[in-house]
Each structure stands twice: as C-alpha cells, then as structure tokens.
Amino acid sequence: MKSVIIIRHAKSSWDNIIHSDFDRQLNERGHHDAPMMADRLLDKKIKIDAFISSPAKRAITTAAYFAQAFDVNENSIIKFLNYIMQLLLFFIMYSVNWMML
C-alpha cells in the first residue's frame, strides 16, 4: 500500500507586508527547522517516490530542503497549483496511512 506524507511548510516570514501570501519566504527559524525535519524523515528510511509542492515560495523552499536531504534534484519537485493541491489532499484524506514525525 502506498503512503502519503504531508508536511506543512516551515516557519515563514511576515516581515514584509508588501509581498503577497504566495511570495512569503521562510524566516530564519524556517531555514533552520526545515533541514532538521528533512533529516528526521530521512532517518526513518522511507522511500520517497515523488516530492509534490505548492509553487508558493515558502512551500517550494521547504520541499527543496527535503529533496536535498533525500539527494533528489530540486528541479524534479512537482509543483501543483493551490486548488489542485487542496483537491488532491481532500481525496487522499480517506485512503492513506497517516504518519506523524
């Protein structure tokens, strides 16, 4: 059975209110925590078939940290639009083995 692991983006910055929500970047804590969380997942020896992310800056940056930890090229991260991500998450909620890190 396939499993889906859902990871929320790392801590993002609200320092620049000029940026849209889509363009918010990770803050210092996010840049510190994302690689740590990626290493925790790597330690579980789980095979990752694909990395899928929203194209929002904070999400794709977090996904990039995970891809790097798993020695996957960042260019292979699949970027989905937000509404597609929401639809995908809705459908998998009922058919997935959930895992907490």
Strand partners, 26: 12
Q: Which helix (H) or strand (E) holds 79?
A: strand 78-79
In terms of average pLDDT, the best of 8-12, 51-55, 59-63, 84-88 is 59-63
Rounded to an integer, what is the distance from CA 68 to the centroid of its chain?
12
How confident is residue 60, by pLDDT bands cut at 50, 70 and 90? very high
Residue bearing the bigger pLDDT, 86 or 54: 54
* Cβ-contact 66, 41 below 8 angstroms: yes
| Distance, CA of 39 to CA of 11 (rounded, Å) | 17
Task: Kindly report the pTM of this predicted structure.
Answer: 0.76
In tens, the pLDDT along 16-46 reads 777 787 788 999 999 999 999 999 999 999 8
Q: Which residues of 8-19 are buried (b: 16+ CB within 10 A; e: fewer)?
A: ebbbbbeeeeee
